Amino acid sequence: MNTKHLKFILMVFMVLALNACADSGKPSSSVTEEQIRTDAVKADVIDAAFSKLISLTVVSQPVQGTQSLVIADLTYDNGEALVSGQVVINYEWADKAWKAVNIQFTYGSVSVKAEAPEADILASAQLIPDLNAQFQNFAFSSDSVLVSKEVFLEIGEATYVITRTASKENWTSTTTYTISAKYSYSDGWQFTTDSWEYTETTNWAGTWVVQWATYDKETQYLPNEKMTLTVTGAMTLTHNSADNQDETRKVNVVFKRAGSGYNLPATLSRDYEDEGLYTTRFIVIKYGNQNNDQINLELDFDLTATTPIATLVAKSFDGNIGELTKIK
């Protein structure tokens, strides 16, 4: 064999060897569906709450060089719901195998197996700060009741109507909430208060005895003066999330003092409005021509004590505090 032939043969072998090395870096196949099924559920948001894969359909998986972009529709079970969406997986060919280098999941829809526990639903009726500031309606423990509901598990949505009622002495308050619930595939049931309406009633009906105290600034009542008031009716006030407020005043008071008889209506007191309090628990009876011709009846809540305290008192124009006792 001459030198020229030998050089030619060596060159052929070199070209074949180089081609073989180049081909060894190219993918020998596309990503298998089995591997896609395994990798798809490793997306952080799926892996965090995963029970089992229900279905997976590969939409596309183009290959460019040593890269493959897999797009697939899938539905998985997170234990509470069937979650559907689309997964995108970036694959890279290395060491003669496809390796997932990035996995992203885009949520599509959800079908929930069961609604939220009733305790969670009731707990969603939260304190409304502005409402509480005016009425102190959360001063005492309340009872929550689920009044009605509309539940659409197939889309993970629900609407609830909840009432929260508190009472103390002759006062009762009820807040009615309309709450929407939506199931989040990553965070479970989430609740939003759509609207609320608050109603409170203080029932002043009955026979009350006012025992005035000795008070050096008093300009109307005698020391230890006693009065009997016959009261009919109640005061009701409503306030809602649209900031509408209405009053129903149906309290009438009959009493005698210094030989004169009185039969007149009561109104809501504005004595504490500067403090943000305007409620049916504070009423005033104006019965004469002088400013100090008035009696205030109050159901006071002391929230500074370890356990809130409710106290019924009478108050004069000058600030004298009298005992207020219901005798029938």
Please give the DSSP secondary-structure letter assigned to residue 207: E
CA angle 201, 205, 207 (to 5 degrees): 145
231 three-state secondary structure: strand
Helix, strand or coil, per DSSP, at residue 21: helix
User: Which of 202, 166, 156, 153 lies closest to 312, judged by CA?
Assistant: 202
Q: Which amino acid is it at 1?
A: M
pLDDT at 305: 84
* Dihedral sign of CA atoms 10, 11, 16, 18 in order: positive
pLDDT of residue 76: 97
The string of DSSP codes covering 115-130 is PPPHHHHHHTS---HH
pLDDT of residue 258: 85
How many CB atoms lie under 10 A from the CB of residue 135? 25
Encoded tokens for 55? 């279905």
Positions of the chain with pLDDT lower than 70, given as ranges = 1-25
In the prediction, which pLDDT does 288 show? 87
Domain residue ranges in the chain: 24-112, 118-200, 201-326
- May I ask the CATH architecture of the domain 24-112? Roll (3.10)
At residue 28, the pLDDT reads 81
What CATH code would you report for 118-200? 3.10.450
Give the Cα separation of 249 and 232 in Å (integer). 11
pLDDT score recorded for residue 225:
94
Q: Look up residue 281 and give its two tokens.
A: 């628990």
Residues 6+ apart with CB under 8 A from 84: 73, 74, 75, 108, 109, 110, 111
Domains 24-112 and 118-200 share a fold: yes
Q: pTM score, two decimals?
A: 0.83
**What local confidence, expressed as pLDDT, does residue 17 receive?**
38
Write out the two tokens for 299: 């159901």
Q: Which two tokens stand for residue 142?
A: 């309340």
Q: What is the pLDDT of residue 37?
A: 96
